[in-house]
Structures are given as C-alpha cells and as structure tokens.
A and B are shown apart, each in its own frame.
Chain A
Amino acid sequence: MRNAVYNFAYRRSPDQDARAPVRHPVVVLGAGPVGLAAAIDLGQRGVPVVLLDDADRIGEGSRGICWSKRTLEICDRLGVGEKLVAQGVTWKLGKVFAGDDLVFSFDLLPEAGHKMPAFINLQQFYLEKALCDRVDEIDAIDLRWKNKLTGLEPHNDHVRLTIDTPEGPYTLEAGWLIAADGARSTTRDLLGLQFAGVTFEDKFLIADIKMAADFPTERRFWFDPSFHAGQSALMHRQPDNVWRIDLQLGPEADIVEEQKPERVTERLKRMLRDMPFTIEWISIYRFNCRRLDRFVHGRVIFVGDAAHQVSPFGARGANSGIQDAENLAWKLAAVLKGEAGPSLIESYERERIQAADENIAHSTRSTDFIAPHSPAERQLRNAVLSLAPMVDFARRMINSGRLSVATVYDTPLSTPDEGVFAGSARLGAPLPDAPVRRKDGTPSHLLDNIAGEFTLLYIKNGAAPEVPEGVRSICIGEDLLDSDGVLGQRLDATPGAAYLLRPDQHLAARWRHADGAKIAAARRRAMGRAG
C-alpha cells in the first residue's frame, strides 16, 4: 500500500530563538486543503501568514477526491485552478443503479460557457501539492512543517500559542488564529469546545485500487447490487488508473476483519470479476454530521472539518472547507488593513454556518436514504427504488448524495434588490460564469476577469457610474464583450444595469440603474458597516 507521496523538511525559524514571543497578524494551523487555501488567499492579499503543520509529509491516506466547480473557481483565483483541471479527471455524469438496473442518471452541468467543469476527481495529495507549490511562490507565507500546537492561551487582541518542534517547544503570538486543523482539531480540544451532532452506525469500506479499466468517467452508485447484496456501492475514477470504491458494510461489520486485504480483495473480486487490480489504500469509516455552535471564538476562527463534519456523500467536506477559507480571507484582510471593523468577521460565521447547516442537512438526508436506520425505513427506501423505473417522482427522490454546490448567502452584507431580476444569477451567490471576449477579441470567461476585489460590472449605456475607492469597474460592452449573449441572459442584464461583486465573487447588490451613492452604500454594507 501507498506511503507518503511528498515529504517536506522541518526548518528552524528565527522565532524559535527570539527572546520574547514574536507576534504575527495571522497564524493558520493545518496545511491541508483548507489551511493552504486560507494562507494563499491572505498571502495574495498581502497579509503576512505563518502556516503551521504538525506533519512533514502529504499523501498518506485516501481522502477527498471530488472537487466542485466552485472550489475550482476559487483555486483558479488562487493560481492553481487550471493545473488541477489538467491533472484531474473531469466528470459531470452520475448513474444510479437499483439492483443491477440503471434507474436514474444526472448531468451536473448541463449548460455550456463555464470555465470550470462541474467536478473533477483528483487525489487530495495532488491538490495539496499544487497548493504547497503555490505557497512557495508567495513571500508573505511562512510555512513551518513539524510545528505542533500544544498550548493555547486566548487574550483580547491575540492568542498565545505553544508550539512543539523536533528541536523543542517555542511560543508564538497570533493576532488571529485560523484553526484549519481538521476533524480531530487540537485547537477545539484546547478550548474545550463541544462538537455535537449525529453519528451514523453504518460502516463503510473505502478502497482505492489501481486497474486498467475502461469504464466510463462517471459516478456510479448502486443500491443493493448482486455483487454486494443488501448494501450500497460507489465507484469513481481518479487519475493514474486509480478507482475509488466505497462499499457499505452495515452497522455490525467488524473493523479489523474487514480491513484485511484478503477480505477486501474477495469483496472487490465479486464486484470487478476478472479485472486485475492492486490495492492502493483501504480504510473503514463511520461518519458524523456535526458542527461547532460558533465558528468564531474571540481571536480564534474555525474553518473546514475543525468547524463542521459531514458524510462523504455529496463531496461537501473539503469543498465547503475551501469555501470557508475564501469567505474568511478577504474579510480578515479587510479588518487587518483597517478597511472594515471586526464585525465583518461575524458575517463569516453567519454565512458559513448557513453553509454548514445546508451541508449537514443534505448529508443527513442522503445518509437516511443510503443507510436506513431500521427495516421500516428500509421498506420506504425500497419502495422509492421499486417505483423509480416507472415514474419520474420516485427517480427524483433517489438520493445517493446531492453534490456540493455553492451556498446562496442570506446575509446582511447583501443589499436587497429594488427590482426584479430573472436569469441564473442570485443575490448572495457566486456570480455564474459566462463566456466573454476581451477588448482585443480573445475569448475568455467572466470569472477569469474578476480578481478577488470588489468589482462593479456595468452594462454599457452611456457613462459608467462613479465607483468608490477600492472598487474596480468593468464595463460590459467595452472592457469585456458579451459576444454570445450568455452573460446577458444569466445576469438578466439590461443596458445600464450594474452588479456589485464582493471579493469572493458573490453578488452583493444589483440595480437596473445605479448611481455612485447607491454603489458606495452597497459597498459599505458589504464591508459590514451600516448603509
């Protein structure tokens, strides 16, 4: 089985030799996808970041594989999006089987004109490696491997951290601590915070296997297939001829027995018949749906699995964590630069708790369907499956995981619409992408031109309205051309309409006719200041 894929070196920091603890504006704890994304986003905004990780390697274990369109759009802004798509396996089709019969299939991105695909599959360590390489390019980030948090002392305007290293402990101070230290968060334990929710009794076997199969690139999910009677199964392609197999084992499964390679091989052979394969990774898991009551505790801010946990059906774990990071980064940068008050951080909590609750609800519903709690619940589930080949409504009730989409924030940072807008753009949601042309005629995508700052999109109709400092103005019809009319459709754009985007590309306000005063007020509001 696979061992670590990439190793990094511990290096002594001058902070370890300082007489008094050195104070840094931001310390990020945990160099997983979420901590790396947070550090890069802050670093790109010019905020100095110390990023600590207790390990010195990545690639052990089999973890996230599905990266959603929104995550890829964020990664694109962070400088690694195209690399990930090139490396990953792009897919958008899902098929659901009941027994051995296909009962339902879905297309996650039925419309064209988006730069990023609905999903790619890519081993988590490749994503982490791409983000680590990006970290290397940013001077503002100081990444320290083999730095383990052992003590934490909250103060009003900072947190004092005790860090253990191979050369002994040292003390650090953080103006803000971003806890991205995962499901078993040390930060959470040190603060003594409750992490309550629902634990599901069913056990699942994950196997990543290598095989030269030519199965189509789609997500395949079975309820009660003949090769794994009474349980569910999932198969998904990854790069390098690696396939993710996920087999439900039920609540009574013996964790030790089921992890034995000969036992796993026997189960997989039943599924794959004569196809030769080698096992890359095996693990057995049981999952939780839970979150912290609050994500912000003074100067400690929780992101990703440290703040919330869901079942894997729906790819809502790592994807939502990266979306936490992006939501927090621009806000924290604005607070540190004095452009916004600390109340802006409260909006992080509000918006991302809304997202976490959505994810937990979806994840719980999927789990209720996939792993019924009792024979009576199973009977209902099976009734849906038996009606599914015959009628539409039952097919639509089949829930093998509702896949991660970005949250539409119901947030005080948005300025309520004055008029009615159709189209797919929604207030509080990330702006839908669309094909555009640059001035010189080169084809591009809308989101490719929106670079992490407040942006006003103005649909040309005479002179553009005045924008306050800190807002970039893009005129559609001049700076960018809506050559296919798709942007106009998705934004329900009419001449003179204007759209204010937050630095995370979420739509904060829109008007049929805007003026400088309205735009300035909406921007103040999006910065957490009263209109």
Chain B
Amino acid sequence: MSKLITQLQFPDPDAAYVTLVEARRGLSVEAAAELDTKLVLILANHIGDLDVLKDAVALAKAAK
C-alpha cells in the first residue's frame, strides 16, 4: 500500500503548469472540465493504486 506523494516531483514545476494551462488554452470552462475529467481517468489508471486514488480524492475535496 503506497501513500499519496504531495512533495513536488517535477524538477521544473513551471513547465508542468504550462503544459496543463496550454492544454486548456482557448477552451470554455465546460470544455476544460471535460478535458480534466479525461485527464483524471488517464492519470488515475497510470497510478493504478486504489489507496493513492482515495487519498487524492480526499485531498481535492478538502482544499477550499
């Protein structure tokens, strides 16, 4: 059972942010939400760990 990693893992966090922001450039809020949903599924499967996924859901819900 592994734990959700919340420490930064990207050597260049700005490059990661830009990749995500550019993915939604020109999209409406609704279209971006659809994109995000697909991204969530893709990344969740990549992680492939139900405990980590549950921790991630809890963290996202806890953030104001």
Chain A residues proximal to chain B, CB less than 8 Å: 362, 365, 368-369, 372-377, 379-381, 383-384, 386-387, 389-393, 396-397, 399, 402
A379 touches B32 (CB 8 A): yes
A289 smallest CB distance to B (angstroms): 13
Interface size (B, Cβ < 8 Å)? 25
**Residues of B with C-beta under 8 A to A369:** 17, 21
With known contacts A386-B63, A390-B62, A375–B7 Cβ distance under 8 A:
no
B17 touches A377 (CB 8 A): no
- Cα(A402)–Cα(B8), bound, Å: 17
Across the interface, name the chain A residue whose C-beta is closest to B9.
Answer: A393
With known contacts A376-B31, A393-B8, A402–B59 Cβ distance under 8 A:
no
B13 smallest CB distance to A (angstroms): 5
**Residues of B with C-beta under 8 A to A397:** 8, 13-14, 16-17
List the 9 closest A-B pairs by CB distance, nearest first.
A376-B32, A391-B6, A393-B8, A396-B8, A386-B63, A376-B24, A365-B14, A397-B13, A396-B13
- Cα(A369)–Cα(B16), bound, Å: 12
- Cα(A365)–Cα(B60), bound, Å: 24
- Cα(A384)–Cα(B31), bound, Å: 19
B29 at the A interface (CB under 8 A): yes
With known contacts A390-B59, A393-B13, A376–B28 Cβ distance under 8 A:
yes
With known contacts A390-B63, A393-B6, A397-B13, A377–B18 Cβ distance under 8 A:
no
Across the interface, name the chain B residue whose C-beta is closest to A402.
Answer: B14
A373 touches B25 (CB 8 A): yes
B20 touches A380 (CB 8 A): yes
B17 touches A365 (CB 8 A): yes
Instruction: With a 10 A CB-CB cut-off, give which of A368, A376, A386, A391 has the most chain B CB atoms.
Output: A376
A399 touches B14 (CB 8 A): yes
- Cα(A467)–Cα(B14), bound, Å: 43
With known contacts A387-B59, A390-B63, A399–B27 Cβ distance under 8 A:
no
B64 at the A interface (CB under 8 A): yes
Cross-chain contact of A379 among B18, B29, B60, B63 (Cβ < 8 A)? B29
B48 at the A interface (CB under 8 A): no
B14 touches A380 (CB 8 A): no
- Cα(A387)–Cα(B62), bound, Å: 9
- Cα(A519)–Cα(B47), bound, Å: 52
**Residues of B with C-beta under 8 A to A362:** 14
A386 touches B64 (CB 8 A): yes
B3 smallest CB distance to A (angstroms): 13
Main secondary structure of the interface of A (DSSP, over half): helix
- Cα(A390)–Cα(B61), bound, Å: 12
A399 touches B17 (CB 8 A): yes
B25 smallest CB distance to A (angstroms): 7
Beyond A377-B25, A387-B59, A389-B63, 17 additional pairs, beta carbon < 8 A: A362-B14, A368-B17, A368-B18, A369-B21, A374-B26, A375-B29, A380-B21, A380-B24, A380-B32, A383-B63, A390-B59, A390-B63, A392-B8, A393-B6, A397-B17, A399-B14, A399-B17
Across the interface, name the chain A residue whose C-beta is closest to B28.
Answer: A376
**Residues of B with C-beta under 8 A to A391:** 6, 59
**Residues of B with C-beta under 8 A to A393:** 6-10, 13
**Residues of A with C-beta under 8 A to B14:** 362, 365, 397, 399, 402
**Residues of A with C-beta under 8 A to B17:** 365, 368-369, 380, 384, 397, 399
B42 smallest CB distance to A (angstroms): 16
- Cα(A392)–Cα(B13), bound, Å: 11
B37 smallest CB distance to A (angstroms): 13
Across the interface, name the chain A residue whose C-beta is closest to B20.
Answer: A380
User: Could you list 25 examples of A-B contacts with CB < 8 Å?
Assistant: A374-B25, A374-B27, A376-B27, A376-B31, A376-B32, A377-B25, A380-B17, A380-B20, A380-B21, A380-B32, A387-B59, A387-B60, A387-B63, A390-B6, A390-B63, A391-B6, A393-B7, A393-B8, A393-B9, A393-B10, A397-B13, A397-B17, A399-B14, A399-B17, A402-B14
Across the interface, name the chain A residue whose C-beta is closest to B32.
Answer: A376
- Cα(A391)–Cα(B28), bound, Å: 28
Across the interface, name the chain B residue whose C-beta is closest to A383.
Answer: B63
- Cα(A375)–Cα(B24), bound, Å: 10
Across the interface, name the chain B residue whose C-beta is closest to A368.
Answer: B21
**Residues of A with C-beta under 8 A to B10:** 393
